[in-house]
A and B are shown apart, each in its own frame.
Chain A
C-alpha cells in the first residue's frame, strides 16, 4: 500500500514541479543531444505538418502523464542529434527516439521529486503522429505546459499529475 501524501507534501510538490521540469529537459538535451535548451514563451505548431507526441504515464501514489509535442521536422532534428545521423523521414527510429526523450524527461522530473521518486513508476512510452489532434485528460488533475527552444526548433512538455490523498 503506497504511503499517502500530506497536504504539506502536496504543496511542496506543486511548488517545485515547474522548475524541476526545466532542469530535467535541460539535462536530457545537454547530455543526450549535445544541445542547449532554453525556456520559450510558446512553441507554435506548423499548420499542415505532422506533429509527433510521446506520452509516458506515471503510476503509484502520483498518477498522470508526461507529454512532449513537436513538429515532424523537429523530431527529425532531435533524433539526428541523438544518433549522430541525418534523419529524413518519420520512421520507427524517429518514433523510438522521441519516446526515449519523453521517457528521460518524465523520469528526470519524477526522480527530482523526492516525495514520489521511489514509489512512482513510469510506463513505457507511447508515440502518436498525425495532424491537428489534441490530447485530452481528466479536468481535475494538476496540469502545466512548458515550451523549450533549441537550435532553431522548439517543443512543448505538458505534465499532468494527481497525488493520492
Chain B
C-alpha cells in the first residue's frame, strides 16, 4: 500500500480512523454530545475531502475503485452519516447511549458503505458489506434496555450470518468458475460460448440470496418489519437508506460488468422484482404501525430499484441512482420525524398515537406528510421523477409487464401512504403532546424537506450530475 493509495482512500480513512480515535479517547473521557458532534464534523470532513482531494490512482489494492462514481457515493454516504448523527444527538441523550461508542459505530458504518459502493472486486464487496453489517448488528440492539431492540438485533444477526455464508459461498463459486475476484474479469470469466458456466450460475444463485437479504426482496424480506420496528429510529433510517443504497450502488457496476450474461438472470430477477412489488404492497396495506409500514414499503421500493437495474443501460442506471437518492432523502426524513417525536419510554409508531397530531405539531407532521407523499410518487415532490425515471427506463427496455405491475403497485401505494396522513390531519381529537423538537432535528428535517421539494421541481441538475459519474460500460 503506497502513499498515493492512502491519499486516494483519504475520506474512508477519515471516517475509520476518526471512529477508532473516538473509541479510544472515549474510553478515558466518557461524554455524549461532544463525541456525536465530532462524528458529524468528521463525516462532513470526509465528504468534503472526497469532493476536493483528487486521487492520483484509479484503484486501490485491486479492490476499491476511486472513480468519480465511487467518490460520488462516498460523499453521499458521508453526508448521510453526518445527518444521522445529527439526528441522533438528542435521541442518544434521551436513551442514555454511550456517546463515543455510538458515534464510532455509525462512522464505521459510513466507511463500510462508502467502501461497498467503491468495490471493484468481489473481495472488496465482501469486506465493505461485512464492515457495516457487523456494525449494524450492534447498532440495532444498541438500546440494550429494550427487549424488542435486542430481539431485532438478534434476528438480524442470525439472518445476516446465514446471508454472509451465502455471499461468501457465492463469491467462492464465482472465483472457482472464473479465476478472478476483480470485477470485469470475474464476470467475463463466467462466460463460455456466450453462456454462463454452470458453476458461475450456482454462484450467482447464492449471491442473489445474499443480496436479496441485504436489500430485503421477497421472499428474503421477512426480517425487515421486525428489525425496522425494533431498532432505534435513527439507526432504522441509516439501515433503510444507506445500507440498502450502498448495496445497489455496488450492484450497478456488478451488473454492468456482467454484460449480456444478465439475460440469463433476468427471469429470476424479474420474479424477485415482481414478488417484491406485489408482496410488499399487499403487506403494507393492512399495517397500523408506521415503522412496519415503512419496512414493507421499502420492500416495494427495492422492487422498483431492481426493475431499474434490470433495465440497464445509462438510462436505467441513472434512474436507479436518482431513485436511490430520492428514496433515501424521504426515508431519512420520515425516520427523522419519528426520532424527533421519540421519548424515553419509546417511539410513536402506532397510528393511534398519531391521531390528530397534525394540529399539535403542524410543522413536523407536514414534513412527514411531504416525505410520505414523495415516497408515494406524487408530484411536485421528488419521488414522482424517481418513479417516472424507473418506469420510463423499464418501458424503454421492453419490461412492459413489470412496469405495469410497478405502476399498479405505485397506485395502490397511495392508499397506505395516505392513511397515516389522514390520521395525522383529518381526525380531530385532542392528541397528546409528544416531545418538542430541537434545533438539530429541525435542521435535518429542513434539509430533507427542501431537497424533496427542490428535486421534485428541478431534477435536472442532479440528473445531469449522475449522467457524468456513471461508470463507463
Q: Do A and B bind each other?
A: no
B interface list, Cβ under 8 A from A: none
Show the binding face of A for B, using Cβ within 8 Å: none
